[in-house]
Chain A
Amino acid sequence: MKMQGWGRYSSLDAQVLVPSFNFECKEFIKNRVLITRGLGRSYGDSSLSPIILETSRLNHFISFNHKTGLISCQAGVSIHDILDLVVPKGWFVPVTSGTSYVTLGGAIASDVHGKNHHIRGSFSQHVISFDLLLGSGEKVTVTPSGMPDLFKATCGGMGLTGIILSATFQLIPIQSSSISQRTLRANSLEEACELFEANALSTYSVAWIDCMAKGRQMGRSLLMLGEHSINGGLDLGGQPMKSLPIDMPTWVLNPYSIKAFNFLYFHRSFFSDQKTDLPYRPYFYPLDAINNWNRLYGKNGFIQYQFVVPKAVGVSGLKHILDVISKSNKGSFLAVLKVFGKRNENYLSFPMEGYSLALDFKMESGIVELVKRLDSMILEMGGKVYLTKDALMSEQMFKSTYPQWQIFEEVRAKYGAIGRFASNQSRRLGLQ
């Protein structure tokens, strides 16, 4: 069966195993080398391998305490389904990725971050415990204090330590399902970064950035701040899902159409400071409204590229990178800037204190070279690239920018994961 990453650039013909119940997984992994896949939202090849174990049917809830907000579910339950259940009861996920179609297992394996990283860190920091199926077929319950090494290797570990079967985590209370959003306009990158600093106490903050703008306008952005509203009740707010029936012809997105989009988007509001209340779905998951928005980039797919550089590199370093991107004319119309808070102790988790930029590049000639060039700049600046989005990173780049990879491998060896769990990505990055 042909399987692809969400970017549709990486693909392969794979055997897909779909257990219906957690207790069946032990049989499925016998004598096989495989990788676990949830809803296939990682962009590159981290959920691809000749044998894939898909968790889509392991989507059973186990318990939910309405009073304490503690929830346990199997790994295949999506954030979307969790929110459907808990929002009407006055709870919300503590950290969410930019799509709700991520499974709980995927959220842990990618240690996803959200617009509140500077306040709440990444997803694993709210995980109380999880059950992990080791390569030996043994099931272990992992907690941050009980098995710290396995916890730190599995959170952000891209499914390479075992199969996450279920997890318990802490929700946060909300009084309303709406988000109060404030949009601030920044005319340059300096201004955008200053606005991030000035609004560091805002729960959610993220900036859409026009990466096609050059010169003095370089880095002009819209900073979007959000707080859970206290008005408006706990309705889910229905939002019918639309699909793109076919791949968009590849010529539709070109430098001119993207420039036009970015110009209009930047100038969409007349006021430089605008406030609105909106339901949580369009706020957190604008792209979820289109079932398969990844077809927007045409049949050749796209590369999603997200990196973080340390704060010390500063605006000048970021400008240097933006300069290369805008001059390449390969810019995307979905570029997102975020200031991260402190890193956690997981060996391969992505976020660290600094500036993070995420971009889409439609796959075409010149993109691989551009990405290589950006990789080397980021390496030099002491930054790194997000494994969940990566499709092209070299082994040398990975091992230099994720220096704890050796500890990660030691933990994998200790718990019998080597030679049992592997993805095309892990092979490319030189993990055993």
Chain B
Amino acid sequence: MKKILIIGATSAIAENAARIWAKAGCSLFLVARSQERLDVISKDLIVRGAVGIDRFCMDLTQFDQQDAMLNAAYAFLGEIDVALIAHGTLSNQAACESSPQITLQEISVNALSVISLLTVLANRFEERKSGMIAVISSVAGDRGRQSNYVYGSAKAMVSAFTSGLRQRLAKSNIRVLTVKPGFVDTPMTKEFTKGPLWAKPQTVARQIVEACNSKGGILYTPRFWWAIMAIIKLIPETVFMIIKL
């Protein structure tokens, strides 16, 4: 029976991952902004087989509350076998371009709050010398593109940070997994027209849980995004300047 901490537990991907863990009889500690949503999800996960559930309501950008949250998580779970960090917002690029406040707010939600949390969490994990941390970054972080470079640069920071953390914590027998989903059909992306590249959150969640149980440091999900991003990263700057992406 695994003990699992999920940050951003009401996101579609995290919720679907939680359902898989619940079915396997895990204990879960859920963190999200909305109490109302957490209540609905907790009940559901108990019916699906979760052995124990507790929840904590907070805005992750309130950095000073992160300690209290982690203390509550450790008090409930005892140890943490898997920590999944899944919170975030999809920035409106146009709004970001018009306002430094909005841009910084997006960076704060998608990068700084994750970095702050990982800094504390890493030390706690390092003491125990076991467990794993999975962090949802994005393919958008692989190369800044005009259509969403604010979101992309925040995710790039998460990818770089987790890369370094992975190297550091490997020495303490701790795995750090950077998850890079492509297009996922969730409430976060409801404004987009969906094409064949879009994946269901259930599929992405299943691949994340599978990756948590196996090896490897970076997960592109669905996996074909590895190839797409490899090509996008290879496009020379001169060509990149004249195309839209």
Interface on A for B, CB 8 Å cutoff?
1, 18, 20-23, 57, 60-64, 85
Q: In the assembly, what is the distance between CA of A18 and CA of B193, in Å? A: 14
With A20-B12, A85-B47, A85-B48: A60-B187 Cβ-Cβ less than 8 Å: no
The reply to whether the CB of B233 lies closer than 8 angstroms to some CB of chain A is no
What residue in chain B is nearest A60 (Cβ atoms)? Answer: B44
Contact partner, B36, options A23, A60, A63, Cβ 8 Å: A23
Query: A186 → chain B, closest Cβ, in Å?
Result: 43
Q: Is the CB of B12 within 8 A of A61?
A: no
Contact residues in A for B48 (Cβ distance below 8 Å):
61, 85
Binary interface profile of B, 150-189, with partner A (CB < 8 Å = 1, else 0)? 0000000000000000000000000000000000000100
The reply to whether the CB of B128 lies closer than 8 angstroms to some CB of chain A is no
Binary interface profile of B, 23-58, with partner A (CB < 8 Å = 1, else 0)? 000000000000011001101100110000000000
Q: Is the CB of A21 within 8 A of B190?
A: no
Q: In the assembly, what is the distance between CA of A60 and CA of B43, in Å? A: 8
Interface on B for A, CB 8 Å cutoff?
12, 36-37, 40-41, 43-44, 47-48, 187, 190, 193
Q: In the assembly, what is the distance between CA of A1 and CA of B191, in Å? A: 11
Q: Is the CB of A18 within 8 A of B43?
A: no
Contact residues in B for A64 (Cβ distance below 8 Å):
47
With A61-B48, A64-B47, A85-B48: A18-B190 Cβ-Cβ less than 8 Å: yes
With A18-B187, A18-B190, A20-B187: A62-B47 Cβ-Cβ less than 8 Å: yes
What residue in chain A is nearest B185 (Cβ atoms)? Answer: A18
Q: Is the CB of A62 within 8 A of B43?
A: yes
What residue in chain A is nearest B41 (Cβ atoms)? Answer: A60
Max chain B CB contacts within 10 Å: which of A60, A61, A85? A60
What are 9 A-B interface contacts by the 8 Å CB criterion? A18-B187, A21-B36, A21-B37, A22-B40, A57-B12, A57-B187, A60-B40, A60-B44, A62-B43
Q: Is the CB of B190 within 8 A of A61?
A: no
Contact residues in B for A60 (Cβ distance below 8 Å):
40-41, 43-44
Contact residues in B for A62 (Cβ distance below 8 Å):
43-44, 47
Q: Is the CB of A61 within 8 A of B37?
A: no
Q: In the assembly, what is the distance between CA of A61 and CA of B15, in Å? A: 13
Q: In the assembly, what is the distance between CA of A22 and CA of B36, in Å? A: 10
Q: In the assembly, what is the distance between CA of A23 and CA of B34, in Å? A: 12
What residue in chain B is nearest A20 (Cβ atoms)? Answer: B187
Q: Is the CB of A61 within 8 A of B47?
A: yes
Contact residues in A for B12 (Cβ distance below 8 Å):
20, 57
Q: In the assembly, what is the distance between CA of A166 and CA of B73, in Å? A: 31
Contact residues in B for A1 (Cβ distance below 8 Å):
193
Contact residues in A for B44 (Cβ distance below 8 Å):
60-62
Max chain A CB contacts within 10 Å: which of B41, B47, B190? B47
Q: In the assembly, what is the distance between CA of A62 and CA of B47, in Å? A: 7
Q: Is the CB of B47 within 8 A of A63?
A: yes
Q: In the assembly, what is the distance between CA of A64 and CA of B44, in Å? A: 10
Q: In the assembly, what is the distance between CA of A380 and CA of B48, in Å? A: 50
Contact residues in B for A21 (Cβ distance below 8 Å):
36-37, 40
Contact partner, B43, options A20, A23, A63, Cβ 8 Å: A63
Q: In the assembly, what is the distance between CA of A63 and CA of B48, in Å? A: 9
Q: In the assembly, what is the distance between CA of A62 and CA of B43, in Å? A: 6
Q: In the assembly, what is the distance between CA of A1 and CA of B193, in Å? A: 8
Query: B137 → chain A, closest Cβ, in Å?
Result: 23
Query: B213 → chain A, closest Cβ, in Å?
Result: 19
Q: Is the CB of A61 within 8 A of B36?
A: no
What residue in chain A is nearest B40 (Cβ atoms)? Answer: A60
Query: A165 → chain B, closest Cβ, in Å?
Result: 11
Contact partner, A61, options B43, B187, B193, Cβ 8 Å: B43
Contact residues in A for B47 (Cβ distance below 8 Å):
61-64, 85
Q: In the assembly, what is the distance between CA of A60 and CA of B44, in Å? A: 5
Q: In the assembly, what is the distance between CA of A61 and CA of B47, in Å? A: 6
